[in-house]
Structure 1
Amino acid sequence: MANQNILITSAGQRVSLVKAFQQELKKLNSENKVYTVDINPVLAPACHISDGYKTVKRVSDECYINDLLEICKELNVKMIVPTIDTELIILSENKDTFLKNGITPVVGDKDFIKICRDKRLTNAFFEERDIEIPRALEKDAPSFPLFIKPYDGSLSKDTFLVENGSQLTDYHLTNPKLMFMEYIDPKEHDEYTVDTYFDKNGNLKCVIPRKRIFVRAGEVNKGVTRKNEIVNFVEKKLSNINGALGCITMQFFFNNMTKRIIGIEINPRFGGGYPLSYLAGANYPKYLIEEYILGKNVDYFDDWISDLLMLRYDSEVLVHNYEY
């Protein structure tokens, strides 16, 4: 039987994610490989941890899809796991090209990806599911404090806390991409990232909230899993999402006193803090392998470890004989 290999794109620093897929995939066959691609793989730690890597052009390059397909054929890849937002639309638009070659990109339908990538559409999606969102404010009649963010942003780029009118600039007022909204006070609300898993039919199979204690460069650096009201809330409001599949990372604010839950955003991919959920027992790499390589069904899972604290630190990957 030929190897059942997996390719993780834009691998960058996702060492823990690569190791998780390696651990689960090699249980099937020790010869199975988890490969990686990156635009500069020599400087990507996860590429050196993987079983092999290739260089790819930027997602915006017209040759990207064809080059990625050829890499998958060469390495006998059966599943592609994207890790950054900019890959999602182009992979969803070209999903059939890969499927015809026996390769499954783990990416939702194009319409769902568009909802996730545009915060205005995300807000509308939440409201349709009776999920509260931060109150929108008009630029010409703001109340303070307020929060500003772009409707198509990521990694906390171009976000602003504005405490009074003197802090507003022409950039804030004239940039059509910036949304003005109610400021959610972190003294009253905890911010949660929720790692959910949706099967190939869009059915919810796992919900694991993790409280964001400290964030560095838009990615959780210290966090803790919590079995709280968010679990039942997501189960009730989001038990099925048309076009969603695999790991869908959602963000909510939660007030422990009032139990208010506020939807913030949805990212249809593995988030940077997913390793905490994996170590708590939410084995999404295993679920993906079972569904898309073994053709099995995935059962609902809620027996994960609550109150598990993750404290991240920097480590090193050494590359010998490197020439710049």
Structure 2
Amino acid sequence: MIEPFRMLLTSAGRRAGLLDCFRSSAARIETALEIHACDLHPELSAACALADARFAAPPCTHADYIPTLLDYARDHGISLIVPTIDTELQPLADAREEFAAIGSYVHVSSPETIAIVRDKKRTMDVLAAAGVPVPRTATLQQFRLNGDGWDWPVFVKPVSGSASRGIACIQSRSELQDSYPEPMLVQQALKGDEYTVNLFVCDGGFMHPAVPHLRMSIRAGEVEKGRTVRRAEFETIARNLARALPGARGVMCFQLFDDPRLGPRVIEINARFGGGYPLADRAGARFAENVLRSAMKLPLTTRNCWQDGVTMLRYDHAIFV
């Protein structure tokens, strides 16, 4: 009997759609796939319920997080680890060689890249230096010292936030709070349509064709309704963005606004599978398949025949345990 290829989806939560993408990708390359999943409370995770095996893991900020995953990967023959939330990227990037030593490929960019994308101010500085269009951005401290010349309203958001946490649109300086629970930045408010651009960067730095989608409706920071859109200028921005990040690797996504006055402006990067990735996969992207191929040391597939105009309409569904 042929042993299945075993992968681990960490912080699995509600990522049932991503789980399906990996299963369909494995079927295309005729690989028996066994998906393991972990979460803080796996009994309350839909993706864990749908996985072949599941277990409880400590928070990624806990000292036992990496040792727990290492022990599990070693004991269960895990060949691929795919993180799904921003806060676990840095510890996994730092421990990537430890996992490699036991035969586990961790789908994560270099620690240098993760350090950049986890700091939204630094992200804007790095992208601007590389010629990638970004909105005017300042730390809150910089803004308080020199806020002249800014147009109102502006956005205030955490330097290392995610999932739209802590974002506020303020109309005047008087609306700024005296203090915030974490470092904040101020960003020029943009208008126009918002897009997510999904991309895949191989270990050698080559970027495969990007797949953008229009974010038609958002819920809790994640696209609820979206439509793939082929835009040549977005492809150029994606390539310049990938080149600006030292050690970018695997699947990433970034958000941009197509401001009618300023043109496209990148607002943030997620160095992981985005919540809307299943739309790109359905349209013909083969990024999840390439993650499997990377871990299995198979040749990657390169294609630019993804379908424009594919619409995703999400709805709530229940898992009964």
- Residue aligned with 2:300, SS: coil
Amino acid at match of 1:302: N
- Residue aligned with 2:285, SS: coil
Deviation at 1:32, TM superposition (A): 2.7
Question: Are the counterparts in 2 of residues 8 and 34 from structure 1 also a CA contact under 8 Å?
Answer: yes
Q: TM-score scaled by structure 2?
A: 0.91
Deviation at 1:67, TM superposition (A): 1.2
Match of 1:225 among 224, 228, 235: 228
Partner of 1:322: none
- RMSD over aligned Cα atoms: 1.9
Residues 12-91 of structure 1: pairs in structure 2 closer than 5 A: 12-28=13-29, 31-91=32-92
Count of aligned residue pairs for this structure pair: 312
Partner of 1:310: 312
Partner of 2:189: 183
Match of 2:278 among 259, 275, 284: 275
Amino acid at match of 1:314: D
Summarize deviations over 1:162-216 as a string: whole Å, max 9, x none: 12344233236xx67111221112xxx2111110100011210120111111110
Deviation at 1:306, TM superposition (A): 0.7
Q: For structure 1, which segment, 211-220 or 258-267, has the greater mean C-alpha deviation from structure 2 after superposition?
A: 258-267
Q: For structure 1, which segment, 203-212 or 129-138, has the greater mean C-alpha deviation from structure 2 after superposition?
A: 129-138
For 2:83 and 2:249, how far apart are their aligned partners in 1?
12
Partner of 1:4: 5
Partner of 1:132: 133
- Residue aligned with 2:227, SS: strand
For 2:17 and 2:187, how far apart are their aligned partners in 1?
35
Partner of 2:257: 253
Partner of 1:301: 303
- Residue aligned with 1:205, SS: coil
Deviation at 1:297, TM superposition (A): 3.2
Summarize deviations over 1:242-291 as a string: whole Å, max 9, x none: 31111111111113x56711111111000111110010011211111112
For 2:166 and 2:118, how far apart are their aligned partners in 1?
15
Question: Are the counterparts in 2 of residues 248 and 268 from structure 1 also a CA contact under 8 Å?
Answer: yes
Summarize deviations over 1:272-315 as a string: whole Å, max 9, x none: 1111001001121111111221x233254221011111110000
Q: For structure 1, which segment, 144-153 or 27-36, has the greater mean C-alpha deviation from structure 2 after superposition?
A: 27-36
Amino acid at match of 1:283: R
Question: Are the counterparts in 1 of residues 121 and 137 from structure 2 also a CA contact under 8 Å?
Answer: no
Deviation at 1:38, TM superposition (A): 0.7
Summarize deviations over 1:106-137 as a string: whole Å, max 9, x none: 01110100000001110111112101211136
Match of 2:246 among 242, 247, 261: 242
Mark the runs of 5 or more structure 2 residues left unpaired by the alignment: none
Amino acid at match of 1:69: L
Mark the runs of 5 or more structure 1 residues left unpaired by the alignment: 320-324
Say whether residues 1:205 and 2:208 are aligned partners.
yes
Deviation at 1:75, TM superposition (A): 2.1
Question: Are the counterparts in 1 of residues 112 and 246 from structure 2 also a CA contact under 8 Å?
Answer: no
For 2:248 and 2:137, how far apart are their aligned partners in 1?
26
Question: Are the counterparts in 2 of residues 196 and 205 from structure 1 also a CA contact under 8 Å?
Answer: yes
Say whether residues 1:162 and 2:170 are aligned partners.
yes
Assess, with a 3 A threshold, how the Cα gap between structure 1 residues 25 and 73 changes in structure 2: closer, same or farther: farther
Amino acid at match of 1:156: S
Question: Are the counterparts in 2 of residues 112 and 244 from structure 1 also a CA contact under 8 Å?
Answer: yes
Question: Are the counterparts in 1 of residues 197 and 238 from structure 2 also a CA contact under 8 Å?
Answer: no
- Residue aligned with 1:77, SS: coil
For 1:100 and 1:43, how far apart are their aligned partners in 2?
32
Question: Are the counterparts in 1 of residues 16 and 46 from structure 2 also a CA contact under 8 Å?
Answer: yes
Amino acid at match of 2:185: M
Q: For structure 1, which segment, 137-146 or 16-25, has the greater mean C-alpha deviation from structure 2 after superposition?
A: 137-146
Amino acid at match of 1:178: M
List 4+ stretches of structure 1 deviating above 3 A: 26-31, 229-232, 238-241
Deviation at 1:239, TM superposition (A): 5.5
Identical counterparts, % of pairs: 30
